[in-house]
Amino acid sequence: MLYHQTLEKLRALRWDGMADALEEQRRQSDIAQLDFEERLGLLVERQWIWKENRGLATRLKKAQFKISNASLEDLDYRSSRGLKRAQIDQLRTSQWVQEHRHCLVTGPTGSGKTYLACALGMQACRDGYRSFYYYAPKLFRALEAARVDGSLFQLLKKLARTSLIVIDDLGIASVPGKLYREFLEMLDDRQGQGSTLITSQFPVSQWHETIADPTVADAILDRLVHNAYRLELKGESLRKGKTPPAENEN
Protein backbone atom coordinates (compact mmCIF):
# COMPACT_ATOMS: atom_id res chain seq x y z
CA MET A 1 0.00 0.00 0.00
CA LEU A 2 2.81 2.38 0.94
CA TYR A 3 4.49 1.74 -2.42
CA HIS A 4 1.41 2.78 -4.40
CA GLN A 5 0.91 5.89 -2.27
CA THR A 6 4.52 6.87 -2.79
CA LEU A 7 4.20 6.33 -6.52
CA GLU A 8 1.06 8.47 -6.71
CA LYS A 9 2.73 11.27 -4.75
CA LEU A 10 5.76 11.19 -7.03
CA ARG A 11 3.46 11.50 -10.07
CA ALA A 12 1.53 14.32 -8.39
CA LEU A 13 4.81 16.15 -7.77
CA ARG A 14 5.66 15.57 -11.46
CA TRP A 15 8.74 13.59 -10.47
CA ASP A 16 8.08 11.15 -13.27
CA GLY A 17 11.71 10.18 -13.70
CA MET A 18 11.96 9.04 -10.11
CA ALA A 19 8.58 7.30 -10.32
CA ASP A 20 9.66 5.36 -13.42
CA ALA A 21 12.92 4.37 -11.74
CA LEU A 22 11.09 3.23 -8.61
CA GLU A 23 8.83 0.98 -10.67
CA GLU A 24 11.87 -0.48 -12.44
CA GLN A 25 13.64 -1.13 -9.14
CA ARG A 26 10.59 -2.96 -7.84
CA ARG A 27 10.83 -5.38 -10.79
CA GLN A 28 14.55 -6.07 -10.30
CA SER A 29 15.15 -9.15 -8.18
CA ASP A 30 18.73 -8.21 -7.27
CA ILE A 31 17.97 -4.62 -6.21
CA ALA A 32 18.04 -5.66 -2.55
CA GLN A 33 21.81 -6.08 -2.86
CA LEU A 34 22.10 -2.29 -2.94
CA ASP A 35 21.85 -0.32 0.27
CA PHE A 36 19.39 2.54 0.80
CA GLU A 37 21.73 5.34 -0.24
CA GLU A 38 22.69 3.56 -3.47
CA ARG A 39 19.07 2.99 -4.41
CA LEU A 40 18.17 6.57 -3.55
CA GLY A 41 21.08 7.79 -5.64
CA LEU A 42 19.78 5.87 -8.66
CA LEU A 43 16.31 7.36 -8.18
CA VAL A 44 17.65 10.91 -7.92
CA GLU A 45 19.90 10.42 -10.95
CA ARG A 46 16.96 9.23 -13.04
CA GLN A 47 14.88 12.24 -11.98
CA TRP A 48 17.74 14.57 -12.89
CA ILE A 49 18.09 13.04 -16.36
CA TRP A 50 14.32 13.14 -16.90
CA LYS A 51 14.17 16.82 -15.94
CA GLU A 52 17.13 17.72 -18.18
CA ASN A 53 15.64 15.88 -21.17
CA ARG A 54 12.25 17.46 -20.62
CA GLY A 55 13.81 20.92 -20.39
CA LEU A 56 15.77 20.37 -23.59
CA ALA A 57 12.69 19.16 -25.45
CA THR A 58 10.81 22.27 -24.33
CA ARG A 59 13.62 24.62 -25.37
CA LEU A 60 13.93 22.99 -28.80
CA LYS A 61 10.18 23.13 -29.38
CA LYS A 62 9.97 26.82 -28.48
CA ALA A 63 13.06 27.69 -30.53
CA GLN A 64 11.32 26.67 -33.78
CA PHE A 65 14.54 26.11 -35.70
CA LYS A 66 14.10 25.78 -39.45
CA ILE A 67 16.33 22.70 -39.51
CA SER A 68 15.43 20.55 -36.53
CA ASN A 69 18.20 17.97 -37.03
CA ALA A 70 21.10 20.38 -37.50
CA SER A 71 24.25 19.28 -35.69
CA LEU A 72 27.74 20.71 -35.29
CA GLU A 73 29.09 17.18 -35.64
CA ASP A 74 27.81 17.01 -39.23
CA LEU A 75 29.41 20.23 -40.50
CA ASP A 76 31.41 20.11 -43.72
CA TYR A 77 34.93 21.50 -43.21
CA ARG A 78 36.14 21.34 -46.81
CA SER A 79 38.69 24.11 -47.32
CA SER A 80 36.68 25.53 -50.21
CA ARG A 81 33.89 26.48 -47.79
CA GLY A 82 36.01 28.77 -45.63
CA LEU A 83 34.65 27.19 -42.45
CA LYS A 84 37.39 26.56 -39.91
CA ARG A 85 37.14 23.86 -37.27
CA ALA A 86 38.92 26.10 -34.76
CA GLN A 87 36.15 28.70 -35.11
CA ILE A 88 33.44 26.14 -34.40
CA ASP A 89 35.39 24.74 -31.45
CA GLN A 90 35.31 28.23 -29.92
CA LEU A 91 31.53 28.34 -30.28
CA ARG A 92 30.78 24.71 -29.44
CA THR A 93 30.62 25.17 -25.66
CA SER A 94 28.15 28.10 -25.94
CA GLN A 95 30.48 30.18 -23.79
CA TRP A 96 29.83 33.01 -26.25
CA VAL A 97 26.14 32.89 -25.32
CA GLN A 98 26.98 33.00 -21.63
CA GLU A 99 29.18 36.05 -22.31
CA HIS A 100 26.38 37.72 -24.35
CA ARG A 101 28.50 37.91 -27.48
CA HIS A 102 27.12 37.83 -31.01
CA CYS A 103 27.84 35.72 -34.08
CA LEU A 104 27.60 36.94 -37.68
CA VAL A 105 27.53 34.33 -40.46
CA THR A 106 27.82 35.53 -44.05
CA GLY A 107 28.10 33.78 -47.38
CA PRO A 108 26.42 33.21 -50.73
CA THR A 109 23.14 31.39 -51.21
CA GLY A 110 23.46 27.67 -50.52
CA SER A 111 26.70 27.95 -48.55
CA GLY A 112 25.15 26.41 -45.41
CA LYS A 113 24.44 29.51 -43.33
CA THR A 114 21.03 28.38 -42.11
CA TYR A 115 22.27 24.91 -41.22
CA LEU A 116 25.21 26.34 -39.26
CA ALA A 117 22.98 28.85 -37.46
CA CYS A 118 20.49 26.15 -36.48
CA ALA A 119 23.29 23.82 -35.35
CA LEU A 120 24.74 26.53 -33.09
CA GLY A 121 21.28 27.36 -31.81
CA MET A 122 20.51 23.73 -31.03
CA GLN A 123 23.82 23.40 -29.21
CA ALA A 124 22.90 26.43 -27.11
CA CYS A 125 19.60 24.73 -26.25
CA ARG A 126 21.48 21.58 -25.20
CA ASP A 127 23.66 23.74 -22.97
CA GLY A 128 20.59 25.13 -21.22
CA TYR A 129 20.01 28.43 -23.03
CA ARG A 130 16.60 29.57 -24.26
CA SER A 131 16.77 30.25 -27.99
CA PHE A 132 14.48 31.43 -30.75
CA TYR A 133 14.77 31.31 -34.53
CA TYR A 134 13.40 33.97 -36.87
CA TYR A 135 13.53 34.18 -40.64
CA ALA A 136 14.47 37.88 -40.96
CA PRO A 137 11.44 39.02 -43.03
CA LYS A 138 9.11 37.30 -40.54
CA LEU A 139 10.82 39.04 -37.63
CA PHE A 140 10.23 42.44 -39.17
CA ARG A 141 6.62 41.52 -39.95
CA ALA A 142 6.20 40.49 -36.31
CA LEU A 143 7.65 43.82 -35.15
CA GLU A 144 5.34 45.72 -37.50
CA ALA A 145 2.26 43.76 -36.37
CA ALA A 146 3.17 44.27 -32.72
CA ARG A 147 3.62 48.01 -33.27
CA VAL A 148 0.22 48.26 -34.94
CA ASP A 149 -1.76 46.26 -32.37
CA GLY A 150 0.02 47.73 -29.35
CA SER A 151 1.82 44.58 -28.27
CA LEU A 152 5.33 45.77 -29.18
CA PHE A 153 6.37 46.20 -25.56
CA GLN A 154 5.37 42.61 -24.76
CA LEU A 155 7.21 41.26 -27.81
CA LEU A 156 10.39 43.19 -27.01
CA LYS A 157 10.17 42.01 -23.40
CA LYS A 158 9.86 38.40 -24.57
CA LEU A 159 12.86 38.78 -26.89
CA ALA A 160 14.91 40.46 -24.16
CA ARG A 161 14.47 37.37 -21.95
CA THR A 162 15.70 34.99 -24.65
CA SER A 163 19.35 34.01 -24.28
CA LEU A 164 19.95 33.53 -28.02
CA ILE A 165 18.01 34.90 -30.97
CA VAL A 166 18.87 33.55 -34.42
CA ILE A 167 17.95 35.90 -37.27
CA ASP A 168 18.29 34.18 -40.63
CA ASP A 169 18.84 35.97 -43.98
CA LEU A 170 19.08 39.58 -42.86
CA GLY A 171 18.89 41.93 -45.83
CA ILE A 172 17.10 39.50 -48.14
CA ALA A 173 14.03 41.78 -48.27
CA SER A 174 13.67 45.56 -48.12
CA VAL A 175 12.57 46.86 -44.73
CA PRO A 176 11.09 50.29 -43.91
CA GLY A 177 13.39 52.47 -41.86
CA LYS A 178 10.93 52.63 -38.95
CA LEU A 179 11.20 48.87 -38.49
CA TYR A 180 14.96 49.08 -38.23
CA ARG A 181 14.39 51.47 -35.34
CA GLU A 182 12.31 48.76 -33.65
CA PHE A 183 15.10 46.32 -34.45
CA LEU A 184 17.57 48.68 -32.79
CA GLU A 185 15.34 48.86 -29.73
CA MET A 186 15.36 45.07 -29.56
CA LEU A 187 19.16 45.00 -29.70
CA ASP A 188 19.30 47.77 -27.09
CA ASP A 189 17.09 45.81 -24.68
CA ARG A 190 19.29 42.75 -25.12
CA GLN A 191 22.60 44.57 -24.75
CA GLY A 192 24.61 42.73 -22.11
CA GLN A 193 21.73 40.31 -21.52
CA GLY A 194 21.56 38.09 -24.60
CA SER A 195 23.31 36.98 -27.77
CA THR A 196 22.21 37.43 -31.37
CA LEU A 197 23.21 35.21 -34.28
CA ILE A 198 22.62 36.73 -37.72
CA THR A 199 23.08 35.19 -41.15
CA SER A 200 23.15 37.17 -44.37
CA GLN A 201 24.04 36.78 -48.03
CA PHE A 202 25.73 40.16 -47.84
CA PRO A 203 29.12 40.80 -46.22
CA VAL A 204 29.00 42.83 -43.01
CA SER A 205 30.65 45.74 -44.84
CA GLN A 206 27.46 46.13 -46.91
CA TRP A 207 24.94 45.99 -44.06
CA HIS A 208 25.07 49.74 -43.54
CA GLU A 209 23.74 50.29 -47.06
CA THR A 210 20.63 48.16 -46.46
CA ILE A 211 19.41 50.42 -43.62
CA ALA A 212 17.75 53.62 -44.82
CA ASP A 213 18.65 55.76 -41.80
CA PRO A 214 22.47 56.14 -41.49
CA THR A 215 22.22 57.04 -37.80
CA VAL A 216 20.20 53.92 -37.02
CA ALA A 217 22.58 51.88 -39.18
CA ASP A 218 25.56 53.14 -37.18
CA ALA A 219 23.85 52.26 -33.91
CA ILE A 220 22.84 48.76 -35.07
CA LEU A 221 26.29 47.89 -36.36
CA ASP A 222 27.92 49.32 -33.25
CA ARG A 223 25.88 46.94 -31.08
CA LEU A 224 26.50 43.91 -33.29
CA VAL A 225 29.91 44.00 -34.91
CA HIS A 226 32.32 44.93 -32.12
CA ASN A 227 31.34 42.05 -29.87
CA ALA A 228 30.85 39.34 -32.46
CA TYR A 229 32.40 36.20 -33.85
CA ARG A 230 32.39 36.42 -37.64
CA LEU A 231 32.19 33.39 -39.92
CA GLU A 232 32.47 34.02 -43.65
CA LEU A 233 31.43 31.06 -45.77
CA LYS A 234 32.25 30.80 -49.44
CA GLY A 235 32.22 28.48 -52.41
CA GLU A 236 29.52 27.04 -54.64
CA SER A 237 26.10 26.13 -53.33
CA LEU A 238 25.98 22.92 -51.30
CA ARG A 239 22.80 22.09 -53.18
CA LYS A 240 24.89 21.25 -56.21
CA GLY A 241 26.41 17.81 -56.63
CA LYS A 242 26.43 15.06 -54.05
CA THR A 243 26.29 16.57 -50.59
CA PRO A 244 24.65 15.45 -47.37
CA PRO A 245 20.99 16.57 -47.46
CA ALA A 246 21.22 17.94 -43.93
CA GLU A 247 23.38 20.87 -45.01
CA ASN A 248 21.58 21.75 -48.24
CA GLU A 249 20.26 24.95 -46.70
CA ASN A 250 21.17 28.61 -47.21
Give the domain ranges of the chain: 2-61, 64-247
Return the pLDDT at 42: 86
* Helix pair angle (36-63, 113-126), 10° resolution: 150
**pLDDT beyond 90 at 235:** no
Average pLDDT score over residue span 152-160: 93
Task: Give the bridge partners for 85, in sequence order.
Answer: none
Q: Which residue has the higher pLDDT, 32 or 135?
A: 135
Answer yes or no: is pLDDT of 240 > 80. no
Q: Give kind and range of the element (H or E) at residue 118.
A: helix 113-126
pLDDT at 129 over 60: yes
Count other Cβ atoms within 10 Å, centred on residue 195: 26
CATH of domain 64-247: 3.40.50.300
Choice between 29 and 183, residue whose per-residue pLDDT is larger: 183
Which of residues 176 and 194 earns the better pLDDT score?
194
Prediction pTM value:
0.80
Tell me which residue of 209, 210, 230, 208 sits closest to 219, measured CA to CA: 208
Range with lowest mean pLDDT among 72-86, 147-161, 176-190, 214-228: 72-86
Phi/psi at 193 (nearest 5 deg)?
-125, -20
